[in-house]
Amino acid sequence: MTSRSRLPAGSNDNVRASELAQDRQHTEVVCNVLLLDNTVQAFKVNKHDQGQVLLDVVFKHLELTESDYFGLQLADDSSDSQRWLDPTKPIRKQLKRGSSHRLNFRVKFFVTDPNKLQEEYTRYQYVLQVKQDILSGRLPCPYITAALLASYAVQSELGDYSQNENLPGYLSGYSFIPNAPHDFEKEIAKQHQQHKGLPPAQSEFNYLNTARTLELYGVELHNARDQSNTEILIGVMSTGIVIYKNRVRINCFPWLQIVKISFKCRQFFIQLRRELNESREALLAFNMVNYRACKNLWKDCVEHHTFFRLDRPLPPQKNFFAHVFQLGSKYRYCGRTEVQSVQYGKEKGIKDRVFARSPSKPLVRRLMDGGMDWESVSRNSRASLSDDRLETQSLPTRSPPGNWANLQLRRRSDVK
Protein backbone atom coordinates (compact mmCIF):
# COMPACT_ATOMS: atom_id res chain seq x y z
CA MET A 1 0.00 0.00 0.00
CA THR A 2 1.30 3.36 -1.02
CA SER A 3 1.32 5.89 1.78
CA ARG A 4 0.29 9.49 1.12
CA SER A 5 2.17 12.38 2.60
CA ARG A 6 -0.09 14.79 4.37
CA LEU A 7 0.37 18.55 4.42
CA PRO A 8 0.49 20.13 7.84
CA ALA A 9 -2.70 21.77 9.05
CA GLY A 10 -3.12 25.24 7.57
CA SER A 11 -0.79 24.61 4.64
CA ASN A 12 -3.62 24.80 2.11
CA ASP A 13 -4.52 28.24 3.41
CA ASN A 14 -0.91 29.37 3.09
CA VAL A 15 -0.67 28.10 -0.49
CA ARG A 16 -3.94 29.80 -1.39
CA ALA A 17 -2.79 33.07 0.16
CA SER A 18 0.48 32.85 -1.78
CA GLU A 19 -1.40 32.25 -5.04
CA LEU A 20 -3.68 35.20 -4.38
CA ALA A 21 -0.68 37.41 -3.66
CA GLN A 22 0.90 36.36 -6.97
CA ASP A 23 -2.36 37.02 -8.81
CA ARG A 24 -2.54 40.50 -7.31
CA GLN A 25 1.05 41.15 -8.30
CA HIS A 26 0.28 40.24 -11.92
CA THR A 27 -2.90 42.31 -12.11
CA GLU A 28 -1.70 45.43 -10.28
CA VAL A 29 -0.30 48.39 -12.17
CA VAL A 30 1.46 51.46 -10.84
CA CYS A 31 0.31 54.77 -12.30
CA ASN A 32 2.53 57.82 -11.78
CA VAL A 33 0.39 60.94 -11.68
CA LEU A 34 1.83 64.43 -12.08
CA LEU A 35 -0.22 66.63 -9.76
CA LEU A 36 -0.77 70.35 -10.23
CA ASP A 37 1.79 71.26 -7.56
CA ASN A 38 4.45 69.58 -9.75
CA THR A 39 4.83 66.56 -7.48
CA VAL A 40 4.54 63.01 -8.81
CA GLN A 41 2.46 60.54 -6.83
CA ALA A 42 2.36 56.78 -7.51
CA PHE A 43 -0.98 54.98 -7.26
CA LYS A 44 -1.35 51.19 -7.36
CA VAL A 45 -4.59 49.86 -8.87
CA ASN A 46 -5.92 46.68 -10.42
CA LYS A 47 -5.60 46.87 -14.20
CA HIS A 48 -9.00 45.19 -14.61
CA ASP A 49 -10.74 47.98 -12.67
CA GLN A 50 -12.51 50.75 -14.51
CA GLY A 51 -10.87 54.15 -14.88
CA GLN A 52 -13.16 55.59 -12.21
CA VAL A 53 -11.27 53.56 -9.59
CA LEU A 54 -8.00 55.33 -10.39
CA LEU A 55 -9.77 58.69 -10.49
CA ASP A 56 -11.30 58.02 -7.08
CA VAL A 57 -7.97 57.16 -5.41
CA VAL A 58 -6.41 60.34 -6.84
CA PHE A 59 -9.35 62.44 -5.63
CA LYS A 60 -9.14 60.77 -2.21
CA HIS A 61 -5.40 61.47 -2.00
CA LEU A 62 -6.03 65.14 -2.75
CA GLU A 63 -9.11 65.24 -0.50
CA LEU A 64 -10.88 66.89 -3.41
CA THR A 65 -14.62 67.38 -2.91
CA GLU A 66 -15.47 69.20 -6.16
CA SER A 67 -13.82 66.54 -8.31
CA ASP A 68 -16.15 66.78 -11.32
CA TYR A 69 -14.08 69.60 -12.86
CA PHE A 70 -10.92 67.47 -13.00
CA GLY A 71 -9.60 64.44 -14.87
CA LEU A 72 -6.53 62.40 -15.74
CA GLN A 73 -4.92 63.00 -19.11
CA LEU A 74 -2.56 60.58 -20.84
CA ALA A 75 -0.52 60.77 -24.04
CA ASP A 76 -1.88 59.07 -27.14
CA ASP A 77 0.92 58.73 -29.67
CA SER A 78 -1.37 57.27 -32.32
CA SER A 79 -3.38 60.47 -32.64
CA ASP A 80 -0.73 63.10 -31.80
CA SER A 81 -3.14 64.49 -29.21
CA GLN A 82 -4.04 64.20 -25.56
CA ARG A 83 -6.86 62.00 -24.39
CA TRP A 84 -8.61 61.68 -21.05
CA LEU A 85 -8.81 58.54 -18.96
CA ASP A 86 -12.30 57.13 -19.55
CA PRO A 87 -13.94 56.32 -16.18
CA THR A 88 -16.22 53.70 -17.78
CA LYS A 89 -13.50 51.58 -19.45
CA PRO A 90 -11.05 49.10 -17.86
CA ILE A 91 -7.69 50.65 -17.03
CA ARG A 92 -5.80 47.91 -18.91
CA LYS A 93 -7.45 48.93 -22.18
CA GLN A 94 -6.35 52.54 -21.83
CA LEU A 95 -2.73 52.16 -20.71
CA LYS A 96 0.01 50.93 -23.01
CA ARG A 97 1.69 47.65 -22.25
CA GLY A 98 5.27 47.45 -21.06
CA SER A 99 5.69 51.20 -20.56
CA SER A 100 5.68 53.47 -17.55
CA HIS A 101 2.15 54.61 -16.90
CA ARG A 102 2.25 58.40 -16.60
CA LEU A 103 -0.78 60.63 -16.37
CA ASN A 104 -1.39 64.32 -15.79
CA PHE A 105 -3.94 65.44 -13.23
CA ARG A 106 -5.61 68.46 -14.86
CA VAL A 107 -8.64 70.69 -14.86
CA LYS A 108 -10.98 69.23 -17.47
CA PHE A 109 -13.87 71.70 -17.35
CA PHE A 110 -13.03 75.38 -16.91
CA VAL A 111 -15.91 77.33 -15.41
CA THR A 112 -16.46 80.83 -16.74
CA ASP A 113 -17.23 82.23 -13.28
CA PRO A 114 -15.02 81.36 -10.26
CA ASN A 115 -18.05 81.98 -8.01
CA LYS A 116 -19.34 78.59 -9.15
CA LEU A 117 -16.45 76.89 -7.37
CA GLN A 118 -17.59 76.54 -3.78
CA GLU A 119 -14.34 75.54 -2.08
CA GLU A 120 -11.26 77.70 -1.70
CA TYR A 121 -9.19 74.55 -2.28
CA THR A 122 -10.86 73.92 -5.66
CA ARG A 123 -10.11 77.48 -6.78
CA TYR A 124 -6.52 76.98 -5.64
CA GLN A 125 -6.22 73.89 -7.88
CA TYR A 126 -7.60 75.98 -10.77
CA VAL A 127 -4.96 78.64 -10.09
CA LEU A 128 -2.22 75.99 -10.18
CA GLN A 129 -3.55 74.79 -13.53
CA VAL A 130 -3.67 78.25 -15.11
CA LYS A 131 -0.20 79.10 -13.76
CA GLN A 132 1.12 75.87 -15.25
CA ASP A 133 -0.55 76.52 -18.62
CA ILE A 134 0.86 80.04 -18.83
CA LEU A 135 4.36 78.94 -17.82
CA SER A 136 4.39 76.06 -20.33
CA GLY A 137 3.18 78.32 -23.15
CA ARG A 138 -0.09 76.44 -23.51
CA LEU A 139 -2.08 79.55 -22.53
CA PRO A 140 -0.78 82.75 -24.20
CA CYS A 141 -1.12 85.86 -22.07
CA PRO A 142 -0.36 89.55 -22.77
CA TYR A 143 2.54 91.04 -20.81
CA ILE A 144 0.52 93.36 -18.55
CA THR A 145 -2.07 90.67 -17.78
CA ALA A 146 0.69 88.16 -17.04
CA ALA A 147 2.30 90.58 -14.58
CA LEU A 148 -1.05 91.21 -12.86
CA LEU A 149 -1.72 87.48 -12.56
CA ALA A 150 1.77 86.88 -11.20
CA SER A 151 1.29 89.63 -8.62
CA TYR A 152 -1.90 87.96 -7.35
CA ALA A 153 0.00 84.67 -7.07
CA VAL A 154 2.80 86.38 -5.11
CA GLN A 155 0.29 88.06 -2.81
CA SER A 156 -1.31 84.67 -2.14
CA GLU A 157 2.04 83.04 -1.35
CA LEU A 158 3.96 85.82 0.42
CA GLY A 159 1.27 88.14 1.72
CA ASP A 160 1.55 91.93 1.74
CA TYR A 161 4.53 93.61 0.15
CA SER A 162 7.12 94.80 2.67
CA GLN A 163 9.87 97.20 1.65
CA ASN A 164 12.10 95.84 4.43
CA GLU A 165 11.58 92.17 3.64
CA ASN A 166 10.91 92.17 -0.11
CA LEU A 167 14.24 93.52 -1.27
CA PRO A 168 15.15 93.87 -4.98
CA GLY A 169 15.43 90.40 -6.51
CA TYR A 170 12.97 88.77 -4.10
CA LEU A 171 11.17 87.26 -7.09
CA SER A 172 14.28 85.88 -8.81
CA GLY A 173 13.47 82.30 -7.80
CA TYR A 174 9.95 82.41 -9.20
CA SER A 175 8.79 81.40 -12.68
CA PHE A 176 5.54 82.69 -14.18
CA ILE A 177 6.03 82.98 -17.95
CA PRO A 178 8.37 81.43 -20.53
CA ASN A 179 11.36 83.58 -21.50
CA ALA A 180 10.48 86.39 -19.11
CA PRO A 181 11.78 89.88 -20.10
CA HIS A 182 14.39 91.42 -17.80
CA ASP A 183 11.94 93.99 -16.38
CA PHE A 184 9.15 91.47 -15.68
CA GLU A 185 10.03 91.06 -12.00
CA LYS A 186 9.89 94.85 -11.49
CA GLU A 187 6.41 94.97 -13.03
CA ILE A 188 5.23 92.14 -10.75
CA ALA A 189 6.66 93.90 -7.67
CA LYS A 190 4.92 97.12 -8.71
CA GLN A 191 1.57 95.33 -8.96
CA HIS A 192 2.25 93.37 -5.75
CA GLN A 193 2.45 96.60 -3.74
CA GLN A 194 -1.13 97.44 -4.72
CA HIS A 195 -2.64 94.27 -3.20
CA LYS A 196 -2.12 95.13 0.43
CA GLY A 197 -4.66 93.45 2.69
CA LEU A 198 -5.75 90.79 0.20
CA PRO A 199 -5.88 87.34 1.86
CA PRO A 200 -4.82 84.25 -0.17
CA ALA A 201 -8.38 83.21 -1.00
CA GLN A 202 -9.31 86.65 -2.39
CA SER A 203 -6.02 86.89 -4.29
CA GLU A 204 -6.71 83.56 -5.98
CA PHE A 205 -10.28 84.55 -6.75
CA ASN A 206 -8.99 87.75 -8.41
CA TYR A 207 -6.43 85.63 -10.27
CA LEU A 208 -9.15 83.43 -11.79
CA ASN A 209 -11.42 86.37 -12.46
CA THR A 210 -8.62 87.92 -14.54
CA ALA A 211 -7.48 84.67 -16.18
CA ARG A 212 -10.95 83.87 -17.51
CA THR A 213 -10.74 86.86 -19.87
CA LEU A 214 -7.79 85.35 -21.75
CA GLU A 215 -8.49 84.29 -25.32
CA LEU A 216 -7.62 80.63 -24.81
CA TYR A 217 -8.77 80.18 -21.22
CA GLY A 218 -10.59 76.87 -20.97
CA VAL A 219 -10.11 76.02 -24.66
CA GLU A 220 -9.06 72.44 -25.45
CA LEU A 221 -7.19 72.60 -28.77
CA HIS A 222 -7.06 69.91 -31.48
CA ASN A 223 -4.89 69.98 -34.61
CA ALA A 224 -6.84 69.73 -37.87
CA ARG A 225 -6.95 70.84 -41.51
CA ASP A 226 -9.77 72.55 -43.38
CA GLN A 227 -11.03 71.59 -46.84
CA SER A 228 -8.25 73.59 -48.50
CA ASN A 229 -5.72 71.52 -46.50
CA THR A 230 -4.71 74.52 -44.38
CA GLU A 231 -3.55 73.79 -40.86
CA ILE A 232 -6.03 75.00 -38.24
CA LEU A 233 -6.83 74.45 -34.59
CA ILE A 234 -10.28 73.37 -33.42
CA GLY A 235 -10.99 74.49 -29.88
CA VAL A 236 -13.68 73.08 -27.59
CA MET A 237 -14.86 75.22 -24.69
CA SER A 238 -17.79 75.76 -22.36
CA THR A 239 -19.77 77.88 -24.82
CA GLY A 240 -19.14 75.99 -28.06
CA ILE A 241 -16.52 75.33 -30.73
CA VAL A 242 -13.95 77.83 -32.01
CA ILE A 243 -11.70 77.69 -35.08
CA TYR A 244 -8.19 79.21 -35.19
CA LYS A 245 -6.00 79.83 -38.21
CA ASN A 246 -2.49 81.21 -37.78
CA ARG A 247 -3.26 81.57 -34.07
CA VAL A 248 -6.17 83.93 -34.81
CA ARG A 249 -9.78 83.06 -34.07
CA ILE A 250 -11.66 83.00 -37.37
CA ASN A 251 -14.94 81.37 -36.33
CA CYS A 252 -17.00 80.66 -33.24
CA PHE A 253 -19.98 78.29 -33.14
CA PRO A 254 -22.04 78.42 -29.91
CA TRP A 255 -23.76 75.18 -28.92
CA LEU A 256 -27.09 76.82 -29.68
CA GLN A 257 -26.05 77.28 -33.32
CA ILE A 258 -24.97 73.66 -33.78
CA VAL A 259 -27.47 71.04 -34.91
CA LYS A 260 -25.21 68.00 -35.11
CA ILE A 261 -21.60 67.02 -34.54
CA SER A 262 -20.40 63.81 -36.15
CA PHE A 263 -17.33 62.01 -37.41
CA LYS A 264 -16.55 59.34 -39.95
CA CYS A 265 -13.09 57.79 -40.18
CA ARG A 266 -10.80 60.84 -39.83
CA GLN A 267 -13.31 63.48 -40.94
CA PHE A 268 -15.06 65.67 -38.37
CA PHE A 269 -18.33 67.41 -39.24
CA ILE A 270 -20.20 70.36 -37.73
CA GLN A 271 -23.76 70.88 -38.96
CA LEU A 272 -25.09 74.38 -38.25
CA ARG A 273 -28.65 75.47 -37.69
CA ARG A 274 -30.34 76.87 -40.80
CA GLU A 275 -30.60 80.66 -40.90
CA LEU A 276 -33.80 82.40 -41.96
CA ASN A 277 -32.40 83.41 -45.34
CA GLU A 278 -30.93 79.96 -46.10
CA SER A 279 -32.63 76.97 -47.69
CA ARG A 280 -30.74 74.29 -45.74
CA GLU A 281 -28.35 73.75 -42.86
CA ALA A 282 -24.63 74.34 -43.46
CA LEU A 283 -22.25 71.41 -43.06
CA LEU A 284 -18.58 72.08 -42.23
CA ALA A 285 -15.99 69.32 -42.67
CA PHE A 286 -12.48 69.07 -41.23
CA ASN A 287 -9.70 66.50 -41.60
CA MET A 288 -7.99 65.12 -38.51
CA VAL A 289 -4.69 63.25 -38.21
CA ASN A 290 -6.42 59.88 -37.90
CA TYR A 291 -9.52 58.16 -36.59
CA ARG A 292 -8.39 58.27 -32.96
CA ALA A 293 -7.75 62.03 -33.07
CA CYS A 294 -11.15 62.50 -34.68
CA LYS A 295 -12.93 60.50 -31.99
CA ASN A 296 -10.99 62.32 -29.24
CA LEU A 297 -12.30 65.63 -30.59
CA TRP A 298 -15.84 64.28 -30.85
CA LYS A 299 -15.75 62.95 -27.28
CA ASP A 300 -14.41 66.30 -26.11
CA CYS A 301 -17.42 67.99 -27.70
CA VAL A 302 -19.86 65.47 -26.17
CA GLU A 303 -18.44 65.99 -22.70
CA HIS A 304 -18.28 69.79 -22.83
CA HIS A 305 -21.77 70.06 -24.28
CA THR A 306 -23.23 67.73 -21.65
CA PHE A 307 -21.38 69.29 -18.74
CA PHE A 308 -22.11 72.93 -19.54
CA ARG A 309 -25.46 72.74 -21.35
CA LEU A 310 -27.55 70.02 -19.70
CA ASP A 311 -29.11 69.83 -16.26
CA ARG A 312 -28.18 66.15 -15.99
CA PRO A 313 -26.43 63.55 -18.17
CA LEU A 314 -28.51 61.54 -20.60
CA PRO A 315 -29.22 57.90 -19.70
CA PRO A 316 -27.35 55.19 -21.66
CA GLN A 317 -28.83 54.05 -24.96
CA LYS A 318 -31.22 51.11 -24.72
CA ASN A 319 -31.76 50.45 -28.41
CA PHE A 320 -31.41 46.66 -28.82
CA PHE A 321 -30.60 46.70 -32.53
CA ALA A 322 -27.98 49.43 -32.11
CA HIS A 323 -26.36 47.25 -29.47
CA VAL A 324 -26.44 44.12 -31.61
CA PHE A 325 -25.07 45.68 -34.78
CA GLN A 326 -22.75 48.16 -33.01
CA LEU A 327 -24.07 51.08 -35.04
CA GLY A 328 -22.06 54.21 -34.41
CA SER A 329 -20.60 55.22 -31.06
CA LYS A 330 -22.71 54.82 -27.92
CA TYR A 331 -20.42 57.01 -25.78
CA ARG A 332 -22.15 59.25 -23.26
CA TYR A 333 -20.67 61.51 -20.61
CA CYS A 334 -21.65 59.93 -17.29
CA GLY A 335 -20.38 62.40 -14.67
CA ARG A 336 -22.17 65.28 -13.03
CA THR A 337 -23.05 68.36 -15.07
CA GLU A 338 -22.04 71.87 -14.04
CA VAL A 339 -25.48 72.44 -12.52
CA GLN A 340 -25.15 69.28 -10.43
CA SER A 341 -21.53 70.02 -9.52
CA VAL A 342 -22.37 73.49 -8.18
CA GLN A 343 -25.21 72.04 -6.08
CA TYR A 344 -22.98 69.22 -4.81
CA GLY A 345 -20.28 71.73 -3.86
CA LYS A 346 -22.80 73.77 -1.89
CA GLU A 347 -23.94 70.68 0.02
CA LYS A 348 -20.61 68.87 0.55
CA GLY A 349 -17.97 71.58 0.21
CA ILE A 350 -15.62 72.29 3.14
CA LYS A 351 -15.60 76.06 3.57
CA ASP A 352 -12.92 76.34 6.26
CA ARG A 353 -10.40 73.81 4.97
CA VAL A 354 -6.75 74.51 5.86
CA PHE A 355 -4.09 73.57 3.31
CA ALA A 356 -0.53 74.51 2.35
CA ARG A 357 0.19 76.38 -0.88
CA SER A 358 3.14 75.46 -3.09
CA PRO A 359 5.49 78.21 -4.39
CA SER A 360 5.57 79.28 -8.04
CA LYS A 361 8.88 77.59 -8.80
CA PRO A 362 10.08 76.27 -12.18
CA LEU A 363 8.53 73.08 -13.51
CA VAL A 364 10.18 69.95 -12.16
CA ARG A 365 10.16 68.40 -15.62
CA ARG A 366 8.90 69.06 -19.11
CA LEU A 367 5.13 68.85 -19.28
CA MET A 368 3.67 66.18 -21.50
CA ASP A 369 1.14 68.46 -23.15
CA GLY A 370 2.04 70.75 -26.04
CA GLY A 371 2.14 74.51 -25.80
CA MET A 372 1.87 77.67 -27.85
CA ASP A 373 4.59 80.24 -28.33
CA TRP A 374 4.62 83.20 -25.94
CA GLU A 375 4.71 85.65 -28.85
CA SER A 376 1.68 84.03 -30.52
CA VAL A 377 -0.91 86.13 -28.71
CA SER A 378 -3.92 87.01 -30.82
CA ARG A 379 -4.67 90.74 -31.07
CA ASN A 380 -7.99 90.02 -32.77
CA SER A 381 -9.71 88.23 -29.91
CA ARG A 382 -13.44 88.58 -29.63
CA ALA A 383 -15.46 89.04 -26.47
CA SER A 384 -14.30 87.14 -23.40
CA LEU A 385 -15.86 83.80 -22.49
CA SER A 386 -18.03 85.41 -19.85
CA ASP A 387 -19.81 87.45 -22.56
CA ASP A 388 -20.70 84.45 -24.74
CA ARG A 389 -24.01 83.52 -23.16
CA LEU A 390 -26.34 80.73 -24.25
CA GLU A 391 -30.07 81.22 -23.97
CA THR A 392 -31.53 77.74 -24.31
CA GLN A 393 -30.49 74.26 -23.34
CA SER A 394 -29.86 71.48 -25.85
CA LEU A 395 -30.31 67.73 -25.73
CA PRO A 396 -28.46 65.02 -27.70
CA THR A 397 -30.36 62.23 -29.44
CA ARG A 398 -29.30 58.69 -30.34
CA SER A 399 -26.95 57.84 -33.21
CA PRO A 400 -28.39 57.14 -36.70
CA PRO A 401 -27.67 53.89 -38.60
CA GLY A 402 -24.32 53.47 -40.34
CA ASN A 403 -20.76 53.97 -39.20
CA TRP A 404 -21.50 57.47 -37.97
CA ALA A 405 -21.19 58.68 -34.41
CA ASN A 406 -22.95 61.94 -33.71
CA LEU A 407 -24.21 64.36 -31.17
CA GLN A 408 -27.62 65.70 -32.19
CA LEU A 409 -28.53 69.03 -30.59
CA ARG A 410 -32.07 70.34 -30.38
CA ARG A 411 -33.70 73.23 -28.59
CA ARG A 412 -35.59 72.29 -25.47
CA SER A 413 -38.83 73.61 -27.02
CA ASP A 414 -38.44 70.98 -29.77
CA VAL A 415 -38.19 68.09 -27.31
CA LYS A 416 -41.47 66.45 -26.41
| pLDDT tens profile 35-50 | 999 999 999 999 999 9
Question: 293-312 pLDDT, tens per residue?
Answer: 999 999 999 999 999 999 88
Residue 187 has pLDDT above 90, yes or no: yes
More confident residue, 47 or 409: 47
Asked if 232 contacts 225 with a C-beta cutoff of 8 angstroms, the reply is: yes
Report the 3 state secondary structure along the chain: CCCCCCCCCCHHHHHHHHHHHHHHHHHEEEEEEECCCCCEEEEEEECCCEHHHHHHHHHHHHCCCCHHHEEEEEEECCCCEEEECCCCCEHHHCCCCCCCEEEEEEECCCCCCHHHCCCHHHHHHHHHHHHHHHHHCCCCCCHHHHHHHHHHHHHHHHCCCCCCCCCCCCCCCCCCCCCCCCCHHHHHHHHHHHHCCCCHHHHHHHHHHHHCCCCCCCCEEEEEECCCCCEEEEEEECCEEEEEECCEEEEEEEHHHEEEEEEECCEEEEEECCCCCCCCCCEEEEECCCHHHHHHHHHHHHHHHHHHHCCCCCCCCCCHHHHHHCCCCCCCCCCCCHHHHHHHHHHHCCCCCCCCCCCCCCCCCCCCCCCCCCCCCCCCCCCCHHHCCCCCCEECCCCCCCCCEEEECEEHHHCC
Instruction: Match domain 25-107 to its CATH number in 3.10.20.90, 3.40.630.30, 3.30.450.20, 3.40.50.2020.
Output: 3.10.20.90
Question: 56-96 pLDDT, tens per residue?
Answer: 999 999 999 999 999 999 866 555 567 899 999 999 999 88
Rounded to the nearest 10°, the torsion over CA 256, 260, 262, 267 is -80
**CB neighbours of 369 closer than 8 A, spacing ≥ 6?**
73, 82, 104, 136, 138
Domain with CATH 2.30.29.30 in the chain: 220-347+389-414
Percent of the chain beyond pLDDT 90?
Answer: 63
393 pLDDT tier (thresholds 50, 70, 90): very low
- Predicted confidence at residue 25, as pLDDT, reads 58
The CA distances from residue 79 to 44, 224, 267, in Å, are 27, 11, 13
* Domain at 220-347+389-414: CATH architecture: Roll (2.30)
Asked if 410 contacts 397 with a C-beta cutoff of 8 angstroms, the reply is: yes
The CA distance from 122 to 348, in Å, is 13
- Predicted confidence at residue 351, as pLDDT, reads 81
Domain with CATH 1.20.80.10 in the chain: 114-211
Mean pLDDT along residues 12-40: 74
Mean pLDDT along residues 190-204: 97
Question: 309-367 pLDDT, tens per residue?
Answer: 998 887 766 554 433 333 345 678 889 999 999 999 999 988 888 888 877 664 433 33
pTM: 0.80
Mean pLDDT along residues 214-218: 96
The CA distance from 135 to 117, in Å, is 23
Asked if 401 contacts 327 with a C-beta cutoff of 8 angstroms, the reply is: yes
Domain with CATH 3.10.20.90 in the chain: 25-107
Residue 4 has pLDDT above 90, yes or no: no
Residue 369 has pLDDT above 70, yes or no: no
- Predicted confidence at residue 370, as pLDDT, reads 40
Residue 216 has pLDDT above 80, yes or no: yes
Mean pLDDT along residues 207-224: 96
55 pLDDT tier (thresholds 50, 70, 90): very high
- Predicted confidence at residue 362, as pLDDT, reads 47
Asked if 256 contacts 391 with a C-beta cutoff of 8 angstroms, the reply is: yes
The mean pLDDT of the chain is: 81
For residue 38, which of 141, 123, 109, 131 has the smallest C-alpha distance? Answer: 131
Instruction: Match domain 114-211 to its CATH number in 1.20.120.1200, 1.20.80.10, 1.20.1580.10, 2.60.40.10.
Output: 1.20.80.10
Q: How many CB atoms lie within 10 A of CB 357?
A: 14
Q: How many CB atoms lie within 10 A of CB 365?
A: 9
- Predicted confidence at residue 325, as pLDDT, reads 33
